[in-house]
Structure 1
Amino acid sequence: MAGRGFIHDKLEIKFLILYITARLVEPVPFDTVLDLTLCDDAIDYFDFSECLADLVKTEHLTLSEDGLYAITEKGLRNSHICESSLPYSVRLQCDKNLASCNRKLRRKSQVRAGCEKRENGTYTVALALDDDMGSVMDLRLAMPREDMAKELADRFRKNPERLYSEIMRVLMSSEPGEDDIVE
């Protein structure tokens, strides 16, 4: 063990990893589990890595082909049984860190932007925004250059609500534009 803290052995590290993975909203990579687990000064990288590998071997966690860890039913059962043995202060710190992590994970899954090259040499930028109920906006735009397409996707990721609001404002506007075609 590395420093002073409340977690004193590998079994407690495993309890902590199960506690954390049981509360994540989706599977996460190694680094995310590591960051969340290092909330106690007594945990070091090598003990953590060994405990995480053991939890996969014992089928408390799964490791997907793309390197994402998720808790299993077996892991959930054992997590609920053992969570009270974790120090209260460690659980409080974990809960705070998990809330922040889960907000970022939800946001990441709700905002999607990417670009792909078309046959004619131009690019298509795909922008999507979801909420808890489903799709809010799905927009595809043609861009002449890759750098422009990537810049547009990056800007959308930073503030998708602004684009959505502007589109809604323009579409809901009751004043016709000068170039509108009147039938």
Structure 2
Amino acid sequence: MAGHGFIHDQLEIKFLILYIAARVIQPVPFDTMLELTLCDDAIDYFDFSDCLADLVKTEHLTLSEDGLYAITEKGQRNSEICESNLPYSVRQRCDKNLADCNRRLRRKSQVQASSVQRPNGTWTVSLSLSDDMGSVMDLNLMMVQEDMARAVEKRFRQSPERLYSQIVDLLLSDGQDEKSEK
């Protein structure tokens, strides 16, 4: 064990990992599990890695081909039984970190941007914005260069709501701006 903290052995690290996996809103990669688990100073990388691998081996967690960890029904049951063994202060810190992580994961799933090259050498950029109710906007744009496509993706991810608002404003305008310009 590394520093001074409340988690004292590998069993408690496993309880913590299950606690996290039961509360994260979607499967997550190794780095995210590590970041969330290191909420206690006594946990080190090597103990964490051993515990995570063991939880997969014992079928408390699954590891997808994409490298994402998710809790199983067995893991969920054991997490519910064992969570009270975790120190309250560790659970509080963990819950705060989980809230931030789940907010980022939710945002990432609601804002999608990708591009693919067409046979003629141009690019199709697909932009999608959704909320808890479903799709808000799906937009495909043609770009002549890859760097333009990547720039559009990046800007969309930064402020999709602003883009959506501007498109709606443009579509709902009565055309007075165009007439006054002529």
TM-score by length of 1: 0.95
2:69 maps to: 69
1:83 maps to: 83
The letter for the 2-side match of 1:142 is M
Identity of aligned residues (%): 74
- The unaligned stretches of length 5 or more in structure 1 are none
**Secondary structure class of the residue paired with 1:54:** helix
2:100 maps to: 100
Mapping 1:1-183, distance limit 5 Å: 1-175=1-175, 178=178
Cα distance, 1:156 vs structure 2: 0.2
- The unaligned stretches of length 5 or more in structure 2 are none
Provide, for residues 117-165 of structure 1, a one-character-per-residue CA deviation record: whole Å limited to 9, x for no partner: 1111111111000101111000000111111111011000111001000
Cα distance, 1:84 vs structure 2: 0.5
**Secondary structure class of the residue paired with 1:116:** strand
Q: Distance in 1 between matches of 2:13 and 2:61?
A: 14
Structure 1 residue runs of 4+, over 4 Å off?
Answer: none
Q: Distance in 1 between matches of 2:43 and 2:17?
A: 11
Q: CA RMSD in A?
A: 1.0
Cα distance, 1:176 vs structure 2: 5.1
**Secondary structure class of the residue paired with 1:43:** coil
Q: Distance in 2 between matches of 1:178 and 1:103?
A: 41
Q: Distance in 2 between matches of 1:92 and 1:172?
A: 47
Provide, for residues 28-68 of structure 1, a one-character-per-residue CA deviation record: whole Å limited to 9, x for no partner: 00000000000000001110000001100111000001100
Q: Distance in 1 between matches of 2:21 and 2:174?
A: 50
Aligned length: 179
The letter for the 2-side match of 1:130 is S
Q: Distance in 1 between matches of 2:176 and 2:54?
A: 65
Q: Distance in 1 between matches of 2:124 and 2:57?
A: 43
Cα distance, 1:24 vs structure 2: 0.3
Cα distance, 1:177 vs structure 2: 5.8
